[in-house]
Amino acid sequence: MSWLERLRDGLSKTRKQLNDTAGNLGTDLKDTFTRLDSVEDLEYALIAADVGRTATEEILEDVRASRQPNLQQALMEALTLQLEPDARRAQFRKLGFSPDARRTVVDPKGHVVMVIGVNGVGKTTTIAKLGQYYMGRGRSVMFAAGDTFRAAAGAQLGVWGERLGVPVVQGPEGGDPAAVAFDAASARAARGTDLLFVDTAGRLHTKHNLMEELKKVRRVIDKADPGEPTEVWLVLDAVTGQNGLAQAKKFHEATPLTGVIVTKLDGTAKGGILVPIVRELGVPIKFIGVGEQADDLQPFDSQDFVRALFDVEIPRSQPG
């Protein structure tokens, strides 16, 4: 399967839900908006996909004002805008989309990326996928097994490291995650490895302690390697929808995020959750996960995402 087929495949549940409604609306915009039922259907479909109220209202406004002759085109454009951070949304409204401007930058600014999020969202798997992605682009990679609370977590990352040929810095089970992060960050700097991905714990039941722990991990990385981590990426499970968004805000307060990775888009009809994630966190989505295999992680591209949602041909090659 090509990356594009994987994306389409992964988004099939959300697509079916949106397309069923948008498809029923006919293609003539004027006609649609004179029939109130149809607008309500569209509104319902967007809300049901977790796009959120504010964004849905803006989308309907944009669609009404659109010069596109066809509803699907107008809706696609409006949705794409909602998937862009504020500044870029304003720029796109003014200048239109340009293929270069829209490309999300996924290269970390520095060398250390902290990966955070609650248990089970896919942090450890995503770190493995990230390792594969960046190694495929010629970067050297290391992992730090910073989830020392879960018995199996260090072992899980160790297995991935072996499979991918990535060195993994481990600590004793139940040990101090900050110590593992410190050792790993020091080792990365000493070896001159391009990228270090730091796995972290994600227990929900002791949220306060978890947030303090994450702050501490961040501080010790900076101590070992001043200026790092330059990136803190939150992994969010798309299946958890609005709950996930509420969690995300808590993490963002404790450890300011530089990016979000949304996993399990293949398991939900609520792929619209990406819209409130971008709008309410104001943080770009870096990657999306559309399956369990190592290459089921793709740099996020708002236009490709929306095209895949509507099953429209994407006449381009895979982004480098």
Ligand X SMILES: Nc1nc2c(ncn2[C@@H]2O[C@H](COP(=O)(O)OP(=O)(O)O)[C@@H](O)[C@H]2O)c(=O)[nH]1
DSSP H or E run through 189: helix 177-191
Looking at beta carbons only, is 77 or 301 nearer to ligand X? 301
**Could you say whether residue 119 binds ligand X (CB under 6 A)?**
yes
Provide the pairing of β-strand 297-299 with 285-289: antiparallel
38 in contact with Mg ion (CB under 5 A): no
CA angle 5, 8, 12 (to 5 degrees): 140
C-beta of 282: minimal distance to ligand X in Å? Answer: 23
Q: Is 50 annotated as a binding residue?
A: no
Among 124, 148, 170, 255, indicate the residue that binds ligand X (CB under 6 A).
124
- How far apart are the C-alpha atoms of 111 and 197, rounded to whole Å? 9
Residue 177 touches which of Mg ion, ligand X, none (CB < 5 to 8 A by kind)? none
Using the contact rule CB under 6 A, the part of the chain among 35-43, 46-54, 93-101, 263-271 near ligand X is: 263-271
DSSP class of residue 291 equals S
Q: Is 28 annotated to bind ligand?
A: no
- HSE at residue 203, side-chain half, CA atoms within 13 A, is 14
The residue within the footprint of Mg ion, chosen from 141, 153, 195, 273 (CB under 5 A), is: 153
Q: Is 279 a residue that touches ligand X (CB under 6 A)?
A: no
22: partner contacted, choices Mg ion, ligand X, none (Cβ within 5-8 A by kind): none
185 SS3 class: helix
* Beta-strand runs (E) in 138-265: 141-144, 168-169, 195-198, 231-237, 259-263
Amino acid at 317: S
- 121: contact with ligand X by CB under 6 A: yes
Indicate whether 200 belongs to the interface with ligand X (CB under 6 A). Answer: no
192 is an annotated ligand-binding site residue: no
DSSP-based three-state secondary structure for 194: coil
**Bridge partner list, 298:** 288
Non-local CB neighbours of 320 within 8 Å, separated by 6+ positions: 137
- Toward ligand X, which CB reaches closer, 17 or 126? 126
* Contact flag: residue 202 with ligand X (CB under 6 A): yes
Q: Which stretch binds ligand X (CB under 6 A): 54-62, 174-182, 289-297, 311-319?
A: 289-297
Report the residue from 14, 82, 124, 148 that binds Mg ion according to the rule CB under 5 A: 124
Site residues for Mg ion, 232-251, by CB under 5 A, read: none
Does residue 158 bind ligand X (CB under 6 A)?
Answer: no
Among the listed residues 26, 110, 241, 267, the single contact to ligand X using CB under 6 A: 267
Q: If binding is defined by CB under 6 A, does position 296 make contact with ligand X?
A: yes
The full 3-state SS of 54-123, as one line of letters, equals HHHHHHHHHHHHCCCCEHHHHHHHHHHHHCCCHHHHHHHHHHCCCCCCCCCCCCCCCCEEEEECCCCCCH
What residues make contact with ligand X under the rule CB under 6 A?
A: 117, 119-125, 202, 263-264, 266-267, 289-292, 296
Please give the annotated binding residues, written as ranges: 117-124, 199-203, 263-266
Contacting residues toward Mg ion, per CB under 5 A = 123-124, 153
